[in-house]
Structure 1
């Protein structure tokens, strides 16, 4: 179904933006990113995050270091690089502009549909 394809594409872009926002806060474990995204219903399965983090790392937007977790096992904690910090700042402005434009278009569409419906009911 085409709607599902479009929703998946929208989610992909928003997911990357949200992951970078979480990383903007400072060092974080992948499991913390996953927990927040699951809580906000942005992902259904956690496996999608690891490839995304690796892609961001290869693009020099994210870096990671190993540290010892409470159970004594090593864990990666991730953070944005300077390039990642600059990128998320630029994305913030784009997000504001896109969100504003999309809301205006939706509002105009809703108003036109409401007017058309009222016109049809009067006939």
Structure 2
């Protein structure tokens, strides 16, 4: 597993919660949104995380009719999910600054 994929695995849950907090979304659409942000992740990686987030009651999935094709499961954030997202944002902020500083981001070399 590459360094990039290991780093991504650690933050992907928070990224997924952030996307779902902005809109009700289904799995494939979520994957496409992440790709548009240049977060390369496969659908095969997304669905197990969505299942786990549902079990943890951070999101809720609801089957809805699709304008084209089969029904889709749309995900929304729960109150507990919103709290988890806020925790992620706080922890990310606490980690990002020191790592950027350590890596010399913004320093002129």
What interval of TM-score do these two structures reach, taking the shorter chain for normalisation?
0.7 to 0.9
- Number of equivalences: 108
Q: Extract structure 1 runs of 4+ deviating beyond 6 A.
A: none
Partner of 2:59: 62
Instruction: Tell whether 2:18 aligns with 1:33.
Output: no
| Secondary structure, counterpart of 1:43 in structure 2 | coil
Partner of 1:119: none
Q: Unaligned stretches of 5+ in structure 1? A: 115-123
Instruction: Tell whether 2:42 aligns with 1:45.
Output: yes
| Secondary structure, counterpart of 1:107 in structure 2 | coil
Please tell me whether Structure 1 or Structure 2 has the larger radius of gyration of its CA atoms: 1
**Which structure features the higher share of helix residues?**
1
Question: 2:8, 2:68 → 1: CA distance?
Answer: 34
The correspondence for 1:98, drawn from 82, 95, 100, is 95
Cα RMSD over matched residues?
A: 2.0
Q: Which whole-Å deviations, capped at 9, do the CAs of 1:43-78 have from their partners, x for residues lacking one?
A: 242211111100111111111111111026311100
**Residue 9 of structure 1: how far off its partner (Å):** 2.1
Alignment of structure 1 residues 61-80 onto 2, 5 Å: 61-71=58-68, 73-80=70-77
Give the TM-score taking structure 1 as reference length: 0.77
Partner of 2:104: 107
The correspondence for 2:79, drawn from 78, 82, 95, is 82
| Secondary structure, counterpart of 2:103 in structure 1 | helix
